[in-house]
């Protein structure tokens, strides 16, 4: 692959630089304070390529966040730009439900083909992840005639009113913004680092919660992230989802995999639920699907998807011609360059570079991940207690040294790494070295 920006970190000014600082002044006077998140949000970007972002002062930063897993295959992909530009010059909008067009049908066909399950499928396209989750809930309720929705502790499903109710932590997403809709139940999840339970044991705990709090026959849908992203890159123990999926089948509950963050190749398979050998009834996708253009989808069993009356789901911009053209270009690229194999390569690079952190730095309790989706759990040295102060220090240091990283976890103690799958071993090494500078300072023991 060739990149329009050399793939290395290069700082010309302190971060944020003078142009960023000037923009930040204008921003605080013009943009709601609610749309902000600390230092990171104060470095203004101009362009990017591969795994490098270039800010308005000309600094080249290593991007280990990908806009929260959106630019999974690199920034400003020329093939995607060309497809979107060609479509924008031809036709930008008609509203698919009034005057349809082929791109929408092609994206639906593609999603039906790549999602798990050998059965007849249908898709609907919408604009955002939260909208996809809302639609999946609507469809499951319509199909089952039931109301209750089960989610898991530490889940993140979005920021609309319904999906806030499906999201675990109160701060900052929910605080002060209720009331929230009823009939949403958060059940205990399998969290191997924190509960030490086997997948089976954790599943029985989850099922017991449902049976004793809700009643299985009341539940329309069970919505899960196969890898919890915002919840701290929590990967439930082997066997957990198998048991949950059996329970759903036994009781006529629609099993929905929210693949918005972990899906579409990021974890080394098309969908992260495939690592658990489970076939969901419905799958939601968004983030990485269109190389940064807004597009999201619900895909699943035809009989469930077709149970909705015509006009019961949809929306003005859903499956926009330009976004769908971009998505088709992304799908072509994934296949042409075997980018799912690249995600597995990134996993190998990350394990070999940072897999020893828990044994080297006592401020690191755990490193876990799949593909290009990793979490580093920061703890109070010598304990398993979450250490949000350490995470803050690491993020501040990394950001001011040109490495963009993300936070995660219900206790704000997980460093989340979502690099693009095209990132090189050299960039991973350089970024890890920057992070290690703070890990060494934060650890009580001298690193071995």
Ligand X SMILES: *Cc1c(COP(=O)(O)O)cnc(C)c1O
Near ligand X by CB under 6 A: residue from 64, 130, 210, 442: 130
Supply the minimum distance, in Å, between the C-beta of residue 268 and ligand X: 18
Candidate ranges 14-22, 51-59, 156-164, 425-433; the one touching ligand X (CB under 6 A): 156-164
Supply the minimum distance, in Å, between the C-beta of residue 432 and ligand X: 24
The residue among 260 and 414 lying less far from ligand X, judged by its C-beta, is 260
128 part of the interface to ligand X, by CB under 6 A: yes
274 part of the interface to ligand X, by CB under 6 A: no
Near ligand X by CB under 6 A: residue from 133, 148, 264, 376: 133
> Phi and psi at residue 86, in whole multiples of 5°?
-60, -45
Near ligand X by CB under 6 A: residue from 57, 225, 274, 281: 225
What residues does 438 pair with on adjacent strands? none
**Among 83, 107, 76, CA closest to 322:** 83
> Phi and psi at residue 48, in whole multiples of 5°?
-160, 165
> Phi and psi at residue 110, in whole multiples of 5°?
-65, -45
CA distance 278 to 275: 8
Q: Please report where in the chains the tokens 């020329």 appear, as a residue.
A: 78
Strand 184-187 relative to strand 219-224, pairing: unpaired
157 part of the interface to ligand X, by CB under 6 A: yes
The residue among 244 and 427 lying less far from ligand X, judged by its C-beta, is 244
The residue among 49 and 128 lying less far from ligand X, judged by its C-beta, is 128
Hey, what are 184's tokens?
């949403």
Candidate ranges 7-15, 101-109, 254-262, 421-429; the one touching ligand X (CB under 6 A): 254-262
DSSP-derived 3-state class of residue 44: coil
261 part of the interface to ligand X, by CB under 6 A: yes
Give the C-alpha distances (Å, rounded to integers) separating 296 from 63, 115, 314: 23, 14, 12
Peptide bond into 143 cis (omega under 30): no
286 part of the interface to ligand X, by CB under 6 A: yes
Strand 406-408 relative to strand 403-404, pairing: unpaired
Instruction: Return the exposure string of 236-253: e unless at least 16 CB atoms fall within 10 Å of the residue's CB, then b.
Output: bbebbbebbbebbeebeb
Hey, what are 2's tokens?
């060739």
Supply the minimum distance, in Å, between the C-beta of residue 228 and ligand X: 8
258 part of the interface to ligand X, by CB under 6 A: yes
156 part of the interface to ligand X, by CB under 6 A: yes
**Among 47, 46, 60, 70, CA closest to 421:** 70
Q: Where are the alpha helices (DSSP H) in 219-295?
A: 240-250
The residue among 52 and 372 lying less far from ligand X, judged by its C-beta, is 372
The number of residues that bind ligand X (CB under 6 A) is: 14
The residue among 258 and 377 lying less far from ligand X, judged by its C-beta, is 258
222 part of the interface to ligand X, by CB under 6 A: no
The residue among 110 and 157 lying less far from ligand X, judged by its C-beta, is 157
Candidate ranges 125-133, 187-195, 267-275, 438-446; the one touching ligand X (CB under 6 A): 125-133
DSSP-derived 3-state class of residue 10: strand
40 part of the interface to ligand X, by CB under 6 A: no
| H helix and E strand count, the chain | 15, 15
Supply the minimum distance, in Å, between the C-beta of residue 255 and ligand X: 15
Supply the minimum distance, in Å, between the C-beta of residue 352 and ligand X: 27
Supply the minimum distance, in Å, between the C-beta of residue 14 and ligand X: 31
Candidate ranges 116-124, 151-159, 212-220, 249-257; the one touching ligand X (CB under 6 A): 151-159
The residue among 55 and 230 lying less far from ligand X, judged by its C-beta, is 230
229 part of the interface to ligand X, by CB under 6 A: yes
DSSP assignment of 45-113: EEEEEBTEEEETTS-EEEESSHHHHTSTT-BS-HHHHHHHHHHHHH-S---TTTS--HHHHHHHHHHHH
Candidate ranges 18-26, 127-135, 318-326, 426-434; the one touching ligand X (CB under 6 A): 127-135
Supply the minimum distance, in Å, between the C-beta of residue 110 and ligand X: 19
Near ligand X by CB under 6 A: residue from 16, 48, 65, 129: 129
210 part of the interface to ligand X, by CB under 6 A: no
The residue among 72 and 261 lying less far from ligand X, judged by its C-beta, is 261
Give the C-alpha distances (Å, rounded to integers) separating 153 from 146, 186, 239, 280, 305: 22, 6, 18, 19, 27
Supply the minimum distance, in Å, between the C-beta of residue 266 and ligand X: 11
Hey, what are 198's tokens?
């086997």
Binding stretches for ligand X (CB under 6 A): 128-130, 133, 156-158, 225, 229, 258, 260-261, 286-287
């Amino acid at each position: 692959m060739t990149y329009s920006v050399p793939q290395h970190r290069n700082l010309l000014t302190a971060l944020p630089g003078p142009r960023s600082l000037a923009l930040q002044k204008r921003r605080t006077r013009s943009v709601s304070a609610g749309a902000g998140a600390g230092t990171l949000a104060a470095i203004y970007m101009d362009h990017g390529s591969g795994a490098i972002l270039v800010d308005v002062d000309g600094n080249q930063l290593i991007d280990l966040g990908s806009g929260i897993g959106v630019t999974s295959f690199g920034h400003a992909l020329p093939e995607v730009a060309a497809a979107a530009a060609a479509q924008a010059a031809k036709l930008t909008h008609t509203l698919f439900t009034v005057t349809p067009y082929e791109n929408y049908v092609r994206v639906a066909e593609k999603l039906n083909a790549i999602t798990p399950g050998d059965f007849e499928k249908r898709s609907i396209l919408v604009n955002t992840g939260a909208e996809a989750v809302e639609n999946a809930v609507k469809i499951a309720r319509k199909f089952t005639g039931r109301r209750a929705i089960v989610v898991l502790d530490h889940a993140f499903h979005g920021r609309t009113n319904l999906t806030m109710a499906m999201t675990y932590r109160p701060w900052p997403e929910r605080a002060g913004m209720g009331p929230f809709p009823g009939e949403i139940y958060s059940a205990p999840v399998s969290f191997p680092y924190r509960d030490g339970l086997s997948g089976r044991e954790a599943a029985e705990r989850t099922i017991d919660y449902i049976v004793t709090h809700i009643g299985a026959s009341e539940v329309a849908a069970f919505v899960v992230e196969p890898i919890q992203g915002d919840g701290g890159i929590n990967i439930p123990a082997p066997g957990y989802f198998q048991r949950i999926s059996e329970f759903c089948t036994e009781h006529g509950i629609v099993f929905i995999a929210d693949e918005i963050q972990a899906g579409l190749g990021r974890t080394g398979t098309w969908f992260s639920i495939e690592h658990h050998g489970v076939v969901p009834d419905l799958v939601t996708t968004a983030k990485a699907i269109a190389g940064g253009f807004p597009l999201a989808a619900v895909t699943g069993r035809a009989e469930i998807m077709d149970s909705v009356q015509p006009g019961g789901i949809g929306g003005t911009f859903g499956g926009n011609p330009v976004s769908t053209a971009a998505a088709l270009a992304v799908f072509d690229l994934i296949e042409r360059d075997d980018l799912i194999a690249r995600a597995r390569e990134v996993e190998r690079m990350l394990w070999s570079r940072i897999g020893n952190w828990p044994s080297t730095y006592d401020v690191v309790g755990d490193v876990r991940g799949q593909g290009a989706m990793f979490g580093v759990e920061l703890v109070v040295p010598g304990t398993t207690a979450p250490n949000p102060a350490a995470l803050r220090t690491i993020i501040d240091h990394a950001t001011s040294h040109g490495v963009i990283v993300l936070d995660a976890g219900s206790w704000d103690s997980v460093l989340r790494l979502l690099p693009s799958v095209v990132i090189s071993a050299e960039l991973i090494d350089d970024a890890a070295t920057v992070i290690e500078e703070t890990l060494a300072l934060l650890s009580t023991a001298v690193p071995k």
